[in-house]
Amino acid sequence: MSNLESQADIGIIGGSGLYSMSGFDAQDEVRLETPFGEPSDAYIVGTLEGKRVAFLARHGRGHRISPSELNFRANIHGMKQLGVERILSVSAVGSLKEEHKPLDFVIPDQFFDRTRGRISTFFGGGVVAHIAFADPICPQLADLMEKSCAAAGVTGKKGGTYLCMEGPAFSTRAESNVYRQWGMDIIGMTNLQEAKLAREAEICYVTLAMVTDYDCWHEGHDAVTIDEIISNLLKNAENAQKTVREAVKNMPKSRTCECGSALKHALLTSKDAIPQAAKDRLKLLIGKYL
Ligand SMILES: [Zn+2]
C-alpha cells in the first residue's frame, strides 16, 4: 500500500456522461484492493496540466454499477491510497428550480439525504468517530470550481442544496414537488456518500453538478426527448472536462481549509480499546492519530 502513496494529488470522479478525461500524459491504469472491497474500476493515473491526477469512472467504464450498488468506501479509500488530497467530483443532476437550467453547472454547498441504508462511514466495528459535516463541501475547492467555470466559459453557480435520492428510478411528481417546497436546488443519486467518506478520509471534496434536465415537476419535462437529454449529457461532459482542467491547472499548492484534520477531534474510542483488526483496517485513515 505505502509504495502507492503520492502517485496522485488530485482525484477526479466522473459520473454519467464523463467516463474518461482527455489530455492525460503518462497515463497508467492502477487497480487497487482496499479493506472495504473493490473500487468501481481501475484508477487512471497520469499528469494533467502538470499535476498528478487520478481519474475514476464512478459507475465503472461502460456504466455497469447502479448508484445503490456503488462501493463508495472502496472508491474513496483507493483515492487515499494513491495519496489524493483533493477530489473533484463531477455528476449529472436534475434541476428542482427554474433558475437552474439544463447545461448550467451548480457547485452545491449542502446535501440532503434521501438514500436508504447505504454504507457511508469507514467507522464502526470497534471504532467510533463523528466527523463534523455541517459544511460538507470544501470551501477552498468550491471557490476554485466557481472560478474554473468562469474561465471555461460555463455558467457555474456556487451554493445550493443537492438532494441525494436512492434511485435508480427517478422521483414521482409528488416527491419532486415536496423537494421543491423544501427549497432543494438539484437532485442526484451519488454525491452525499462520497462527500461523507472523503471528509472521514480527510480529503477535500467538491461537487460539480451538471444540470441535464428539469426534474419531473417541470411542465416542460415530458416534452424533452431522449435525443435532447443525450445531447445535453455530451455537451455537459465537454464543459466539465474544460472546467476540471482549469481547476487542476489553478489548484492552490497548499490547503487553507480544515478538511485535512477532520478526524482530529472526531475519534471517540480510546486508543487502547480499539481492536487490532480495526486498527489494521483503518491504518491509512487513523494511523497518524494512534
Ligand atoms: Zn478542503
Nearest Cα neighbor of 80 from 43, 50, 127 is 43
Nearest Cα neighbor of 11 from 158, 187, 201, 289 is 201
User: What is residue 4's predicted lDDT score, i.e. its pLDDT?
Assistant: 52
Ranges of residues in the chain whose predicted pLDDT is under 50: 1-3, 5
Nearest Cα neighbor of 45 from 81, 72, 71, 69 is 81
| CA 220 to centroid of ligand 1, rounded, Å | 38
Render pLDDT for 222-255 as a digit per residue (tens, 0 to 9). Answer: 878 888 888 999 999 999 999 999 999 999 999 9
The share of the chain scoring above pLDDT 90, in percent, equals: 89
| CA 266 to centroid of ligand 1, rounded, Å | 16
Render pLDDT for 126-149 as a digit per residue (tens, 0 to 9). Answer: 999 999 999 999 999 999 999 999
| CA 197 to centroid of ligand 1, rounded, Å | 13
Among 28, 109, 213, 222, the one annotated catalytic = 213
User: What is residue 22's predicted lDDT score, i.e. its pLDDT?
Assistant: 86
| CA 277 to centroid of ligand 1, rounded, Å | 29
In degrees, rounded to 5, the angle at the alpha carbon of residue 142 between the alpha carbons of residues 141 and 147 is 95
| CA 17 to centroid of ligand 1, rounded, Å | 26
User: What is residue 3's predicted lDDT score, i.e. its pLDDT?
Assistant: 46
213 catalytic residue (yes or no): yes
Matching CATH number, 10-122+133-251, of 3.40.50.1580, 3.20.10.10, 3.40.50.300, 3.60.150.10: 3.40.50.1580
| CA 21 to centroid of ligand 1, rounded, Å | 23
Residue that the C-alpha cell 427554474 belongs to: 98
In total, the chain counts a number of residues equal to: 290
Residue that the C-alpha cell 505505502 belongs to: 2
Q: What residues are neighbours of ligand 1 (ion), with CB under 5 Å?
A: 138, 204, 257, 259
User: What is residue 24's predicted lDDT score, i.e. its pLDDT?
Assistant: 87
Report CA-CA distances (Å) from 197 to 110, 121, 165, 188.
15, 6, 17, 17
Cα torsion at 280, 202, 266, 274 (round to 10°)?
Answer: 0
